[in-house]
Structures are given as C-alpha cells and as structure tokens.
Structure 1
Amino acid sequence: MRAAFIDARQTLVVREVDTPEPGPDQVRVRIDYVGICGSDLHYYFEGANGAYVVREPLIPGHEVSGRIDRDPSGRWPAGTPVTVHPATFGDPAPSLPDAPHLWPNGAYLGSASTWPHTQGGLAEHLVVDRAMVRVLPGSLPVLRAVLAEPLAVALHALSRAGEVSGARVLVTGSGPIGLLAVAAAIDAGAGSVTATDVLPGPLARASALGADRAVDVSAETLDAGSYDVVLECSGVAASISAALAAVRPRGVVVQVGMVPDEARPVNLAPFISKEVTFVGTFRFAEEIDAAVDLLDRRPEIEQVITHVLPADDAEGAFAVARDSERSGKVVVAVWPGDTPAAGAQSL
C-alpha cells in the first residue's frame, strides 16, 4: 500500500509499504479521505508540533473517513462506511473519570508525542482497534464524515462553555475549527453568533455558514462586554486579550486555539475585573458520536471543505492548507476516483 511519510521539515515522501493485518479486536479501514489539521501543518513545515519533534518517519493524519476493508470478526462487511475516533485512551485517572482524553499515556493518530510515533491515516489502509470505529449513517457521505474529528473538537469546546441556548456567542478566528465552532453554536441554539478574523476569505466562509456577523478585527474593534460566551479559536495572544475584553462580566471564555508552550503577553485585567470564567479545552472524549449525528443532520457543514486534492499531490495539499485566505478545510483524497465535495476545488 501507499503511505505518505513526513521524514523531516518540509520533506514528505509517498512510499510503498506492507499492508497491515488486523489482529484480535482490530479492523482494517480503507482510507478514502484525510483532513489536514494545524498539527499536521506544524509537523510538515516545522518538523515539530510544539515540543513533539519528528524523530522517525511519521505518517500524519488523524481526521479520516473511509470504508471497512477487513473485519476478522465478520461483524462489519467490507465496504461499510466509517470514520475513526483517533484517540487511544491511556491509564485511567481516578480524579478524571469522565475525561479519558486527559488520562496519561494516551496516544493519537499521526502524533510524534509518543515513541515510537503513533502513525496516522494518510495511507491507503489503517488498522485500528474496533472501539475506535464509528459506522456512518447511510445518509452521511464519506467525504463529509472526514469533518467528524474536528467537529468533535468544536463540540467539546462548546460543552466546556456550558449552556449556550439563547446566548450571544463570539468565535474568534474563522479557520476550520472556528467555522465548525460557528456551526456547533448555531445548532446548539445560540441567540446570535459573531465570527472574527483578519482576512476576507475566512470571514466570507463564516457568513456563508450562518454567522450573524463577520467582523474584521484588523479594522473594527469589538464592543467590550457584549458577549456571553467567547470561543477563542485562533491561539493568538492579541486575540485572547480581545476575547477577555469582549466577554461580559461573569461570562465564559473557552480557549480552543492551541498556543505555543512559552510565555506570551495577554492582558488579564478584564479577566479579574469582570470575574470571567476562562477555561481550557483539549481534543475531546466521545463527542465524535454527536459530531457524526450533526454532520448527518446539517449537510451545509460540508462547505467548510474548500479543497479536495489527490494523495499524489500531498505536498500541494499542505501548501494550500497553510493559506488561510484561500482555504478552509483541505482534504486529501487517498484513493483515485473519490468524489470531491460540491463546490470544493480538486486538482
């Protein structure tokens, strides 16, 4: 089978490797689509994602969808459409019974955080534990289902905010996670949803997805104290400061966007004076099931996918995904002949 390996910074090579065989309680998935995430971009362009350095050839990709290729148990026939929960939860922590994604010694597809690295899904076949498989409803296209993992991230972030029905919600940063946060907030019954960015492309995509307002914060200042909930999806220090200023007294700011593991200047005065609740969010537990349901109910979310490129041009896909003005979610079609999203660009 073919698999794409990041060997080092800006070095991606497609190689022929042995097709893996599933063991007990495992299945083999034929991967149709892989979404490119911010962590994948860091691994490719920088050779590291924060502290996690590529020390051996790494197959990236944790946003995957495809079809069952082989299930030794016979439970799922070949061709069954699926997506995959990318996490293998680690050692149970008694203090975190409902947060397995925070347990120590877990693993995540396409990650250099473990040694050996946990290989990802940018390959023609992927063997995973049976518990990681999510069978898709018959009405959910396999392409749209590639959004299940990042949408689960957005849903988990929304759950950290508490009740948002009727709330004034602000989403700062309209990249793919920000766009999916907009969709999640709308579906949760938010009273209004405002999205921000500094580029016209992401702002236009947020409006098309249903945001009530799309604000270019390089030209317009948000009204202070105007939002009940802020989902900060950019990870930029200035945006975090703006989120703390924009939230109302005793409102909630959820830090969704990842930030570097280093000191950054953030204005905490509003956090103190308004008694703001500022919470973190990391990946998700089981929200991928709700994400599959939401993608099935809301086909318009598929417009977050702006580009579908073939695996033979994986380097081109990474370049497009890095251009946030031009692209939303960029997806790699692993198998020739897979159908691109309506309105998405394919090369």
Structure 2
Amino acid sequence: MRALVIRGTLDLVDAELPTPEPGPGEVRLRMAYGGICGSDLHYWAHGANAEYVLREPLVPGHEVSGTVDLDPRGDLAVGTPVVVHPARFGLPQAGLEASPHLWPGGSYLGSAATWPHTQGGMSEYLVVRQDMVRPLPADLPLRRAALAEPLAVALHAMTVAGDVAGARVLVSGCGPIGLLAVAAARRRGAAEIVAADVLAGPLSRAVGVGADATVQVGAEALPDGVFDVVLECSGVPAAIGPALRGARRRGVVVQVGMVPDEPRPVNLAALVSRELQLRGTFRFHDEIDEAIRMLTDDVGLEAVITHELPADQAEQAFRTAQDSEASGKVLVRLWHDGELVGDHRGDQGSAPVAEQRRTEGTA
C-alpha cells in the first residue's frame, strides 16, 4: 500500500509499505481523508512535537475518515463510512476512572510519544481495534467527518471549562482548533463569543462559524477582565498572559493549545489577584460521538476546511497548512478508489506544486 511517511525534518515521502492484515478484534479501513494537525506539522517541520521526538519514520495523521475494507468478525459491512477514535487507552489509574485519555501507557495514531512510534492514518489502509471505529450517519460526508477528531478536542476543552450556558467566552487563537472551539462554545450555549487572533484571515473564518465579535491582537486591545471563560487555543506562551487578563475575577481559563516543553516567561499576576482557575485540557475521552452528531447537524462547519489536496501533493498541503493567514483546516485526499461520500472538492490554493513521488521499500 501507499503511505505518506515523515522520515525527518522537512522530509516527507510517498512510500510503499506492506498492506496490514487485521488480527482478532481489529478492522481494516480504506482511508479517504486525513486532516493535517499541528502535531503533524511539528513532526514534519521540526522532527518533534513538544517533548516527542522522531526516532523512526512516522506515518502522520489522526484526523481521518474512510470506509470499512475488511472486518473479519462481519459486524461492519464493507464500505461502511467511518471515522476513528485515534486513542488506545492505557492502564487504569485510581482517581482517573472516568478519564481514560489520561491513563499512562496509552497510544495515539500518528504519534512519536510511544516506542515504537504509533503509525498514523495517512495511508491507503489502516488497521485499528474495532472499538476505535465510529460508523457515520448516511448524511455525513467523509470530507466533513474528517473534522470529528479536532472537534472532539474542542468539545473536551468545553467539558473542562464547565457549564458555559449564558457565559461570555473568549477564544484566543483562531486556527482550526480555535475555530472549532468557537463552534463548540456556541453548541454548549455561550451567550457571547469573542475571537482573538493576530491575523485577519482566521478572524474572518471565526465569524463564519459563530463568533459574535473579533479582536485583531496588535491592532486592537483585548477587553480586560470581562470574560467568564477563556479558551487559549494558540499555544503561544506570549498569549497566555493576555488570556489571563481577559478573564473576570474567579473566571476560568483553559489552556487548549499545546505549549512548548521548555521554560518560557508568563505573566501570572492576574491569576493570583483575580483568583482565576487555570486548567489544562488534553485530547478527549468520548466527545468524538458528540462531534459526529454536531457535524451531521451543522453543514456550515465544513467552512473550517479551506483546502483539500490529493496525496501526491502532500508536501504542498503541509506547506499550505503552515500559512495560518490563508488556511484553516487542510485535508489530504488519500488513495480511496471508490466514490467518496459527499466528495466535493475544496479550494486547492493557487498553483499547488506536486513533488515527484519517491517509492521506498520500507518506512
């Protein structure tokens, strides 16, 4: 089978790998779409994502949709459209019974956090455990369904934030996760949502998915001390201090964006003087099921997808995803030979350049 493989910094190839065979309790999927996540970009651009460093070639991709190719147990019919919950949970821990995504020893598709690395889904075929498979409603296209994983991340951040019904919410950073956080806050009943970013492009997209107002950081001042909940989605350390100052007294600030694994100065004065609660959020538990329902109900969420490129233009897709002014979510259209459900093409950008395919014997 063909697969996209990151071999090192700025070294992405189209490789030939053995087609996997499902074992007991597993299902083989034929992949259709893979969304480019920030972690995928970091592995490609820097050879590492925070503390997780590439030590072997890695197939990226955990934001994936496709169809069932082979279910040895016969529970899922061939051609059933699905998305994948990308986590295998680890060892149960006392006090964390309801949070298996935090159990140690787990794994995540397309991640260098494990050794050997956990290979991802930007390939022709993917074998996963059956309990990781989520069949889709007939009216949810595979293209839109590829947003299920990042939307689940945003919904889990809302869970961590607590009840936001009637709340004033600030979303700091309007990349794909920030955009989906705007939509998730609207879904959970926020009364007012303000989106903040340094760039105009992401802010215009935030309005399209439900933001009531925007602030272009650097050109405008963020409101001070007025938000019940702040979702810091940029992961930029310099944005954490302003996010804290945006929260009202005893407000809640949720750090959604992954920050660098290194010491950085952060102004925490407002955290103390306003008795704020600063909370972390990591991946998700079962919010992917809510994400599927939400994507089925709200066709407008597809606007988060700004670009779709075929797998033979994968390097161009990764470069496009680096340009946060021009792009929201960038999808790679994989080597699915059947008719894709809802397969309408997105904006492929201006003059994408396909890199010559290089065939490798192994990853």
CA distance in 2, matches of 1:162, 1:202: 26
Q: Does 1:314 align with 2:314?
A: yes
Superposed, 1:23-62 pairs within 5 Å as 23-62=23-62
Q: Indicate the residue corresponding to 1:335 in structure 2.
A: 335
Q: Indicate the residue corresponding to 1:78 in structure 2.
A: 78
The answer to whether the 8 Å contact 1:169/1:231 transfers is yes
Question: What amino acid sits opposite 2:311 in the alignment?
Answer: A
Q: Indicate the residue corresponding to 2:245 in structure 1.
A: 245
- Secondary structure of residue in 2 paired with 1:143: helix
Aligned match of 1:345 in 322, 345, 348? 348
Q: By how many angstroms is 1:28 displaced?
A: 0.4
Q: Indicate the residue corresponding to 1:90 in structure 2.
A: 90
Query: Relative CO higher for 1 or 2, CA cutoff 8 Å, sep ≥ 6?
Result: 2
CA distance in 2, matches of 1:142, 1:78: 15
Q: By how many angstroms is 1:265 displaced?
A: 1.2
Q: Indicate the residue corresponding to 2:166 in structure 1.
A: 166
- Secondary structure of residue in 1 paired with 2:222: coil
Q: Indicate the residue corresponding to 1:292 in structure 2.
A: 292
Q: By how many angstroms is 1:237 displaced?
A: 1.9
Q: TM-score normalised to the size of structure 2?
A: 0.93
Q: By how many angstroms is 1:210 displaced?
A: 1.8
The answer to whether the 8 Å contact 1:31/1:67 transfers is yes
Which is worse superposed, 81-90 or 327-336? 327-336
The answer to whether the 8 Å contact 2:30/2:336 transfers is no
CA distance in 2, matches of 1:192, 1:50: 33
User: How many aligned residue pairs are there?
Assistant: 347
Superposed, 1:1-347 pairs within 5 Å as 1-335=1-335, 338=340, 341=344, 344-345=347-348
The answer to whether the 8 Å contact 1:34/1:65 transfers is yes
List per-residue Cα deviations over 1:225-249 (Å, max 9, x = no partner).
1100000001112211011101000
Q: By how many angstroms is 1:291 displaced?
A: 0.6
Question: What amino acid sits opposite 1:157 in the alignment?
Answer: A
Q: By how many angstroms is 1:157 displaced?
A: 0.3
CA distance in 2, matches of 1:125, 1:218: 45
Q: Indicate the residue corresponding to 2:356 in structure 1.
A: none
CA distance in 2, matches of 1:112, 1:188: 33
CA distance in 1, matches of 2:113, 2:278: 26
- Secondary structure of residue in 1 paired with 2:77: coil
Question: What amino acid sits opposite 2:246 in the alignment?
Answer: A
CA distance in 2, matches of 1:6, 1:222: 39
CA distance in 1, matches of 2:34, 2:346: 18
The answer to whether the 8 Å contact 2:166/2:189 transfers is yes
CA distance in 1, matches of 2:119, 2:346: 31
CA distance in 2, matches of 1:117, 1:22: 19
Q: By how many angstroms is 1:345 displaced?
A: 2.9
Q: By how many angstroms is 1:41 displaced?
A: 0.3
The answer to whether the 8 Å contact 1:303/1:343 transfers is no
List per-residue Cα deviations over 1:246-278 (Å, max 9, x = no partner).
100011000001101111111111110110011
Question: What amino acid sits opposite 1:330 in the alignment?
Answer: V
Q: Which runs of 5+ in 1 are unaligned?
A: none
Q: By how many angstroms is 1:341 displaced?
A: 4.8
The answer to whether the 8 Å contact 1:156/1:287 transfers is yes
The answer to whether the 8 Å contact 1:305/1:341 transfers is no
Q: By how many angstroms is 1:340 displaced?
A: 5.2
- Secondary structure of residue in 2 paired with 1:330: strand
The answer to whether the 8 Å contact 1:308/1:340 transfers is no
Question: What amino acid sits opposite 2:348 in the alignment?
Answer: Q
CA distance in 1, matches of 2:210, 2:291: 18
CA RMSD, Structure 1 to Structure 2 (Å): 1.2
Q: Which runs of 5+ in 2 are unaligned?
A: 353-363
CA distance in 2, matches of 1:323, 1:184: 24
Moved over 4 A (4+): 336-343
The answer to whether the 8 Å contact 1:308/1:341 transfers is no
- Secondary structure of residue in 1 paired with 2:164: coil
